[in-house]
């Protein structure tokens, strides 16, 4: 074959399911991850509403607390970012995500339970080459004291800076260059976090109905309310990287370039992808050579073999 040496697409080897509570709606949800044909991409299917929505930036709605997909006719899927991060970090190009409700289960507030599901299902290569989005010129969006940018680079890397008044967080920054296991090792276990005051305010407004110490780090003043404390000393900035990584996968493939987030959130990453794809000179689609000397890209060059 002419495409020998080119990374090929992958899907799941079998179907896996989980049950959990939606962070925002609080309802119990069953979610299945199913194999899909090459070229399908990640597609969400609401079996309770008979609707499908592709996991793409141009099918998102403006939101700040989480990333929400919409079919444009009122059918939404909330909080897709942690699952998208797990799929990206596990090298899954094609999958059907089946849900019986409007939200991806929160699980433990990180991407680790979804990574475990994908490991349980296993992955297989498919006939089409993987398509990546190569950044050709810098794109930046700013607003509300924050910014997000994509810059040309040989591999994929991310950096993030956060700054909070809270004495436990203050200033944290991190830069990650992605290699085979980077997402799993460095980011996948970092949990969502919130301030107790905010959680109480949001709950009174009918939001975060499913939020609890089981699926988020809750901070009160200079105290972590969760027993067991933090999973990483800088878990907060790692979770922001995880969120941005998941949101960037809504580009429709891995990105070859550098992401920089400065106090940014879901809305900035969404605007960033819109700005990128609005400029035909800012990006191109490319395949990825499977050579040992190739710089690391957005996800594993070497897939794990699951016993
Ligand atoms: Zn998150």
DSSP 272-305: HHHHHHH-TTSEEEE--B--TTSPP-SS-SSPPP
For residue 117, report the distance from its CA to the centre of ligand 1, in Å: 18
Q: How far apart are the first and last CA of the chain?
A: 29
Look at residue 4 in the predicted model and tell me its pLDDT: 61
Q: What is the mean pLDDT of residues 260-269?
A: 96
Q: In the predicted model, what is the mean pLDDT of residues 138-147?
A: 96
From the CA of 172, how far away is ligand 1's center (Å)?
A: 16
266 is catalytic: yes
Name the band, by pLDDT with cuts 50, 70 and 90, for residue 198.
confident
Ligand 1 center to residue 6 CA distance, Å?
Answer: 32
Residues 6+ apart with CB under 8 A from 70: 53, 59, 60, 61, 76, 77
Active-site pick, 24, 82, 239, 266: 266
- Whole-number Å distance, alpha carbon 245 to ligand 1 midpoint, is 10
- pTM value is 0.93
Higher pLDDT, 16 or 306: 16
Report the b/e string of 160-193 with b at 16+ CB within 10 A.
Answer: bbbeeeeebbeebebebebbbebbbebbbbbbbb
pLDDT value of residue 3:
54
Q: Give Cβ neighbours of residue 170 (< 8 Å, ≥ 6 apart).
A: 163, 164
What's the pLDDT tens digit per position in 18-42?
Answer: 999 998 888 999 999 999 999 999 9
Q: Distance between CA 244 and CA 173 in Å, rounded?
A: 14
CB under 5 Å of ion ligand 1: residues:
192, 243
């Amino acid at each position: 074959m002419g495409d020998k040496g080119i990374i090929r697409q992958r899907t799941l080897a079998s179907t896996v399911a989980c049950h959990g509570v939606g962070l925002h709606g609080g309802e119990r949800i069953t979610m299945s991850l199913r194999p899909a044909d090459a070229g399908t991409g990640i597609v969400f299917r609401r079996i309770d509403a008979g609707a499908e929505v592709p996991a793409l930036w141009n099918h998102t709605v403006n939101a700040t607390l989480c990333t929400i997909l919409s079919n444009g006719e009122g059918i939404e899927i909330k909080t897709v970012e942690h699952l998208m991060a797990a799929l990206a970090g596990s090298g899954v190009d094609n999958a059907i995500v089946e849900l019986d409700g409007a939200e991806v289960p929160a699980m433990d507030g990180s991407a680790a339970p979804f990574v475990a599901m994908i490991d349980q299902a296993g992955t297989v290569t498919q006939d089409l080459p993987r398509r990546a989005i190569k950044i050709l010129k810098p794109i930046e969006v700013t607003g509300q004291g924050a910014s997000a940018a994509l810059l040309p680079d040989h591999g994929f890397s991310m950096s993030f800076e956060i700054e909070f008044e809270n004495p436990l967080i203050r200033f944290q920054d991190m830069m990650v260059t992605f290699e085979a296991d980077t997402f799993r090792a460095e980011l996948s276990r970092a949990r969502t976090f919130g301030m107790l005051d905010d959680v109480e305010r949001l709950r009174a407004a009918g939001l975060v109905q499913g939020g609890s110490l089981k699926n988020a780090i809750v901070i009160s003043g200079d105290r972590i309310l969760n027993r067991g404390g933090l999973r990483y000393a800088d878990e907060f900035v790692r979770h922001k990287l995880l969120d941005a990584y998941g949101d960037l996968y809504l580009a429709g493939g891995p990105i070859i370039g550098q992401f920089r987030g400065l106090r940014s959130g879901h809305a900035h990453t969404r605007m960033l992808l819109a700005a990128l794809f609005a400029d035909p000179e800012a990006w191109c689609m490319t395949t990825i050579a499977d050579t040992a000397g190739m710089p690391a890209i957005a996800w594993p060059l070497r897939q794990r073999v699951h016993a």
